[in-house]
C-alpha cells in the first residue's frame, strides 16, 4: 500500500491524509508534553488508550446529537476523522478549581466553582496559548459571535453529558479542553467537535479519594501515569486486557 502523506506532527498525534478526500487519519503517539513542551516524555501505551477513550467519548456524544469529526477507529492507534478547519481556540470548561484558574485567582485547588465556567485560550504555542476574551476573538476574527455562541453551547452540553457519564463510574470531571472546527458541506458550514477527549486534556479525579487519573500525574511527576489512564478505560468498560485484545478475539475464547 502506498504510504499516506503526513500532514502534520503535533505533540501528541500525527495527522495523515485519509483514504477519501475530506478525511484525515489521527495517529495517537505515546509522547507526552507539559507546560507547552517545557517537559516531555513517553508514556508507553498512552496512544492506544487515548485512541480508545476518545473514540468512546466522541461516539457517546454523537448519540446525544453533538456533531463531531469522528468517523471510525481504524486500529489500535489510528482513527479516521472528518477534516475540518480548526478554530484556533482552546475551549476550556471548568467545574472545580485546578491548574491555572486556581493559580490565577488564588482559589484552593479542589474547590467547586459557583457554576461551570467556559474559558477561551488562543491556540498558539509561540505565545503560550494566552487566555482571551470574546472581544479579542471577534476583533481578531478567530470566530464570529455566532460561532462563539455555538461553541459555548456545545461545550456546556458536552460538560453536562460528560459530568454524568463520569459520575456514573466514580470520577469527577474537574475540567477539560475542547477544540472545534468548521466542517464544510458545499456552501454549508457546521461547527463540530474535533481533536480528542482523553485524560491528556481532562482533569479526572476519583470521587471517593480525589486521586488524579489524568495528565497531571505526568505534569507533577506523580508516577503511575499509564495505570491511571488504564483505570479510566477500565471504568468506561473499554480496556483491552493484555493477551485478550478484542482486535483479534478468537471466537471460542470464553468471556
Ligand atoms: P498539537 O501539538 O498542535 O496540540 P496534536 O499532537 O494534538 O497537536 O495533533 C492534533 C492536531 O490536529 C492539532 O493541531 C489539532 O488542532 C488538529 N486537528 C484535530 N482534529 C482535526 C481535524 N478533524 N481536522 C484537522 N485538524 C485537526
Ligand atoms: Mg493537541
Q: Per-residue pLDDT tens for 142-175?
A: 999 999 999 999 999 999 999 999 999 999 999 9
List of long-range contacts for 183-190, beta carbons under 8 Å, 24+ apart: 183/67, 183/69, 183/82, 183/84, 184/85, 190/67
Give the pLDDT of residue 37: 86
Residue 245's pLDDT band (boundaries 50, 70, 90)?
very low
* 175 close to 93: Cβ distance less than 8 angstroms: yes
- Radius of gyration of the chain, Cα coordinates, nearest whole angstrom: 18
Phi and psi (nearest 5°) for 250?
-60, 145
pLDDT band for position 185 (cuts 50, 70, 90)? confident
d(CA 184, CA 181): 10
What pLDDT digit, counting tens, does each position of 47-91 carry? 999 999 999 999 999 999 999 999 999 999 999 999 999 999 999
pTM of the predicted model, to two decimals? 0.94
**CB contact at 8 A, 113 and 93:** no
Please identify, by atom number, the ligand 1 atom nearest to the C-alpha of residue 82: 23
pLDDT tens by residue, 99-129 = 999 999 999 999 999 999 999 999 999 999 9
Q: Cα(129) to centroid of ligand 1, in Å?
A: 15
The CA–CA distances, whole Å, from 117 to 22, 62, 94, 189, 214 equal: 33, 23, 5, 27, 20
CA distances from 142 to 8, 90, 168, 189 (A): 21, 11, 36, 15
Within 10 angstroms of residue 43's Cβ, the number of other Cβ atoms is 20
Q: How far is the CA of 193 from the centre of ligand 1 (A)?
A: 12
Cell match 495517537: residue?
28
Instruction: State the average pLDDT over residues 228-236.
Output: 98
DSSP assignment, residue 227? H
**173 Cβ below 6 A of ligand 1:** no
Compute the distance between CA of residue 64 and CA of residue 8 in angstroms, rounded to an integer: 31
Cα gap 29→31, rounded to integer Å: 5
Tell me the CA–centroid distance for residue 17 and ligand 2, in Å: 18
What values do phi and psi take at 79, rounded to 5? -135, 150
pLDDT of residue 177: 98
For a mutational test of ligand 1's pocket, the pick from 40, 88, 92, 194, i.e. the residue with the most ligand atoms closer than 8 A to its C-beta, is 194
Amino acid at each position: 500500500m502506498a504510504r499516506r502523506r503526513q500532514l502534520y506532527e503535533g505533540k501528541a498525534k500525527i495527522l495523515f491524509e485519509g483514504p477519501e478526500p475530506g478525511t484525515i487519519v489521527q495517529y495517537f503517539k505515546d509522547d507526552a508534553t507539559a507546560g507547552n513542551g517545557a517537559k516531555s516524555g513517553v508514556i508507553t501505551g498512552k496512544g492506544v488508550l487515548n485512541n480508545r477513550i476518545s473514540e468512546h467519548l466522541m461516539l457517546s456524544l454523537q448519540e446525544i446529537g453533538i456533531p463531531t469529526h469522528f468517523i471510525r477507529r481504524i486500529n489500535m492507534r489510528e482513527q479516521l476523522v472528518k477534516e475540518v478547519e480548526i478554530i484556533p481556540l482552546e475551549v476550556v470548561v471548568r467545574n472545580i478549581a485546578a491548574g491555572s484558574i486556581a493559580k490565577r485567582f488564588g482559589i484552593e485547588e479542589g474547590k467547586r466553582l459557583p457554576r461551570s465556567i467556559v474559558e477561551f485560550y488562543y491556540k498558539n504555542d509561540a505565545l503560550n496559548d494566552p487566555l482571551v476574551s470574546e472581544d479579542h476573538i471577534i476583533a481578531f476574527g478567530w470566530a464570529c459571535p455566532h460561532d462563539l455562541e455555538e461553541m459555548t453551547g456545545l461545550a456546556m452540553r458536552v460538560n453536562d453529558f460528560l459530568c454524568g457519564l463520569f459520575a456514573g463510574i466514580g470520577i469527577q470531571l474537574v475540567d477539560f479542553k475542547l477544540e472545534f472546527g468548521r466542517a464544510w458541506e458545499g456552501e454549508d458550514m457546521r461547527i463540530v467537535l474535533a481533536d480528542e477527549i482523553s485524560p491528556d486534556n481532562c482533569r479526572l479525579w476519583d470521587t471517593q479519594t480525589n486521586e488524579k487519573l489524568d495528565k497531571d500525574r505526568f505534569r507533577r511527576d506523580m508516577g503511575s501515569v499509564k495505570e491511571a489512564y488504564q483505570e479510566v478505560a477500565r471504568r468506561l468498560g473499554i480496556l483491552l486486557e493484555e493477551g485478550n485484545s478484542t482486535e483479534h478475539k478468537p471466537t471460542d475464547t470464553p468471556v
